[in-house]
Amino acid sequence: MTPEEYLAVPYVLVVESLEGPDGNWFRRAQYPELGVSADAFTPLDAIAKLEEARVTTILNRLERGETIPVPRPPLREDMGGLDKDHLSFARWLVEQRRVRDE
């Protein structure tokens, strides 16, 4: 699979509210199948951080030759519900890493 295909794999997203040790509540977003999570005060901020962590985790694992879980096939661009802007960002990030590594 190409890096772009790995980045198009749809992972199960879990978001939960948790109480911190200081009594304040925060949100945790996770991709349990990928073993990635991110915390923030709002759900949207947690998901945004999680997406950055997902892309970084996948690309770093590929660079190290590590296995990446693929619980379901990658989404295709021509699917109506696929957010092409996110895939475009993922492709741009992959290209930037290629340029950096050359």
Domains present along the chain, CATH in parentheses: 3-101 (3.30.160.250)
Residue 94, pLDDT score: 63
Residue 80, pLDDT score: 47
Q: Nearest Cα to 56, choosing from 40, 70, 37, 75?
A: 37
- Helix-helix angle 84-101:43-64, to 10 degrees: 40
pLDDT tens, position by position, 74-94? 988 654 444 555 555 566 666
Residue 81, pLDDT score: 47
Q: What is the mean pLDDT of the chain?
A: 86
pLDDT tens, position by position, 4-31? 999 999 999 999 999 999 999 999 999 9
**Identity (one letter) of the amino acid at 91?**
R
Q: How far apart are CA 68 and CA 84, in angstroms?
A: 22
Report if pTM > 0.95.
no
